[in-house]
Amino acid sequence: MKSLYHLKREIEFLDEKIAELETKMTKITSVITDMPKAHDNGDKLCADVVKLVMLKERRDKKNELYNKESKRTLNALNALEDSQLFTIFYYRLVEFKDWEEIAGILGGKNTYHNVRNIYYRNAKKIDTK
Contact between residue 87 and residue 96 where contact means Cβ atoms under 8 Å apart: no
Specify the pLDDT at position 84: 92
Please classify residue 37 by burial: count the beta carbons closer than 10 Å to its beta carbon, then call 0-12 exposed, 13-18 middle and 19+ buried: exposed
Which whole number is the average pLDDT over 103-123? 92
Predicted confidence (pLDDT) per residue in 40-94, tens digit:
555 666 777 888 899 999 999 999 999 999 999 899 888 888 999 999 999 998 9
32/76 Cα distance (integer angstroms): 53
Q: What is the pTM of this model?
A: 0.71
42/27 Cα distance (integer angstroms): 12
Predicted confidence (pLDDT) per residue in 1-18, tens digit:
558 889 999 999 999 999
